Amino acid sequence: MNDPGKQSRSIRSFVRREGRLTKAQKFALNNYWDKYGIDYDPSLLDFEKLFQRRAPVIIDIGVGTGESTLQHARQHPENNYLAIEVHRPGIGQLLNKIEIELLHNVKIIQHDVIEVLKNQIPNQCITQFFIFFPDPWPKKRHHKRRLINKELMNLIKHKLVRHGRLHIATDWENYAEHILELFSNNNDYYNLAGDSNCCPRPNWRVETRYESRGYKLKHQVWNFCYGLAGNLAEIKSSKESIEANSLLS
């Protein structure tokens, strides 16, 4: 496994907060990584070769112990899932669960997502991105470390397929405001819930321990779903064409 800390970026969205690995986690990292893990390498991945089939690819960013990834992989075996996480205890736990359930549609990368997107993910090949409950970095002096920023948005827009979707959830109000402001000022995306709105909680999204902890702290949860703005122009044009034709008929 490569070390995600050895990289050129000076400001990262994560720091090493790794506790002791359990025996089960160590065993999984030593025995299952070659089966389900992808070592970071600054060259493009071939997803069809990697998963040994052609299928929609969904990237789950910052998966923790992989509760969300596992649930979706179980419910949608027709999709391929790429989990990106930097902390080894969570990766070890996820590897054990993948092996126990014999899931063949999940792979893991242990590296900084920015470098992964820049160097390993081909353009226009990802159906959906999941970013559920990223570290809020609540202190103002740490806001520069937040994962969701202009750089990430710019990378994701190039990786999404034509009608792809970006799903985000957070339980920190200030982070939700930050997300809304970022996307409201970006012409590359459109908000499926309408400008400056949050969307209802998707019934398909599993409740992770991070979300549960937020509810225990009496936090509200904000959900967002974005598409590429070029598609919105296409939809509007198609709608206008249909309306014009109906007036002529």
Domain assignment present for residue 3? The answer is no
Residue-level pLDDT at 18: 62
CATH code of 131's domain: 3.40.50.150
Q: Among 2-6, 8-12, 24-28, 88-92, whose mean pLDDT is lowest?
A: 8-12
Residue 228 lies in a domain: yes
Task: Say if residue 5's pLDDT is above 90.
Answer: no
Contact 111, 4 (CB under 8 A): yes
* Structure confidence at residue 242 (pLDDT): 39
- The answer to the question of residue 9 being in a domain is no
- Whether 220 is covered by a domain: the verdict is yes
Lowest mean pLDDT among 4-8, 40-44, 138-142, 219-223: 4-8
- Kindly indicate the confidence band of residue 246, based on its pLDDT and cuts at 50, 70 and 90: very low
Please indicate, yes or no, if residue 69 is contained in any of the structural domains: yes
**What does the pLDDT average to over 168-181?**
95
What's residue 232's pLDDT?
Answer: 65
Residue 30 belongs to a domain: yes
What's the pLDDT tens digit per position in 62-108?
Answer: 999 999 999 999 999 999 999 999 999 999 999 999 999 999 999 99
Domain extent for 61: 23-248
3-state secondary structure of 82: strand
Confidence of residue 237 (pLDDT cuts 50, 70, 90): low
Instruction: Specify the residue for token string 């909680």.
Output: 201
**Domains identified in the chain, total number:** 1
Residue 1 lies in a domain: no
Has residue 236 been placed in a domain?
yes
> What amino acid positions are annotated as catalytic residues?
135
**Block residue for tokens 């321990």:** 209
Q: How far apart are CA 109 and CA 99, in angstroms?
A: 16
Q: Is the pLDDT of residue 231 over 60?
A: yes
Q: Interior CA angle at 126 toward 11 and 181, to 5°?
A: 50
Which one, of 96, 68, 97, lies nearest residue 83 by Cα?
68
